[in-house]
A and B are shown apart, each in its own frame.
Chain A
Amino acid sequence: MHELAVTQSILEIALQHAEQAGAGRITDLHLVIGQLSSMVDDSVQFYWDLISQGTPAEGARLHFRRVPVEMQCRACDHRYTPDGDFMCPACGSDQVQVVAGEEFYLEAIDVAAADD
């Protein structure tokens, strides 16, 4: 499990952007995580509660937007979520590619003044 390393990175990125914006504290973090990224939301939340203590992000809420895996068939352009094998369910082709599900980024943070 590497959720601790991931959570530390999230905290660093968020604090850096809050400081640049001159914000006093962070209230919410919006994360976008593709289903192909191996990460457990609860585990990140667990570490978050520990490591955000004493920082301007203490108590901030984590919002996870999960992006399902999507594939697109090069033969017939059909887009679908794969189930078991990756073949196109519409035409049976194996000329397909992953078009969504690999996302792994911090999209935005909500900040407030320190005394808000």
Chain B
Amino acid sequence: MTQRIPVVEKILSANDRLAAENRARLDAAGVFSLNLMASPGAGKTSLVEHTVQRLQGKLRLTVVEGDIATSLDADRAAAAGATAIQINTGGDCHLDAVMLQAALAQLDLAQCDLLIVENVGNLICPSSFQLGTHRSVLVASTPEGDDKPYKYPGMYQGVDALVINKIDLLPYVTFDMDAFRRGVEILNPGVITFPLSCRTGEGLDAWIAWIVKAVEQHRRDHA
């Protein structure tokens, strides 16, 4: 005799609960946080470097770098002037709430205004695992092609902001901005976008202003 028991529970609910704990911990410390996601080579670390440099003296920044191996990215963020720690996932394709929890335990959050988490380069898995960060940001780049929203809808759907990096390469690559934006708009209506170039600096001002405003708002909400 078997009996059916209804469950209807999200499979990643345990991760979601831990993510909520991470969020509470960050809020209590007055730290605003971003989860940066992208495919490998889109320019996440370059964006982190420029963000750190531009916010130097204005905000105290900490960067958590997620990678399968090496501390190359944490070294770059540290060289740019941030407190940086590396999480090596040892083969896992994404960061999850447990890994961020362990990273938070190593940090002095009282000395931090803005925490940037750079996720593992991957357009699939990171979108499934909440970390507890305040905003999810996807860094797309023009050489990847304009079809990426159509091929990775899960990633494009779940983010709060979209950076379109490497716009200086638009004359040289096949990238139809209208087709790209149409896909984005369908999946994530009204999402804020930042077309920019880390190489030339074009468009970075708007991105920085958005972060500063969000940090200030968070500070008011959690004063």
Contact = CB atoms under 8 A, between A and B. Distances in A.
A36 to B, nearest CB: 5
Q: Is the interface of B mostly helix, strand, loop or mixed?
A: mixed
B124 interface: yes
A9 B7 contact: no
Interface in B161-196: 182-183, 185-187, 189
A98 B10 contact: no
A18 to B, nearest CB: 7
A65 interface: no
A110 B183 CA distance: 41
Contact of A23 (B3, B12, B92, B129): B3
A11 B8 CA distance: 14
A5 B125 CA distance: 11
Interface residues of B, number: 33
Contact of A110 (B4, B9, B11, B154): B4
Contacts of B128: 2, 37-38, 104
A97 B186 contact: yes
A69 B152 CA distance: 13
Contact of B8 (A14, A28, A102, A106): A106
Interface residues of A, number: 39
Interface string B6-45: 1111111111000000000000000000000000000000
A110 B5 CA distance: 6
B93 interface: yes
A12 B14 contact: yes
Contacts of A23: 3, 5
B7 A13 contact: yes
Contacts of B153: 36, 69, 98
Interface of A: 1-2, 5-6, 9-10, 12-14, 17-18, 21, 23, 27-28, 31, 36-38, 69, 84-86, 94, 96-98, 102, 104-113, 116
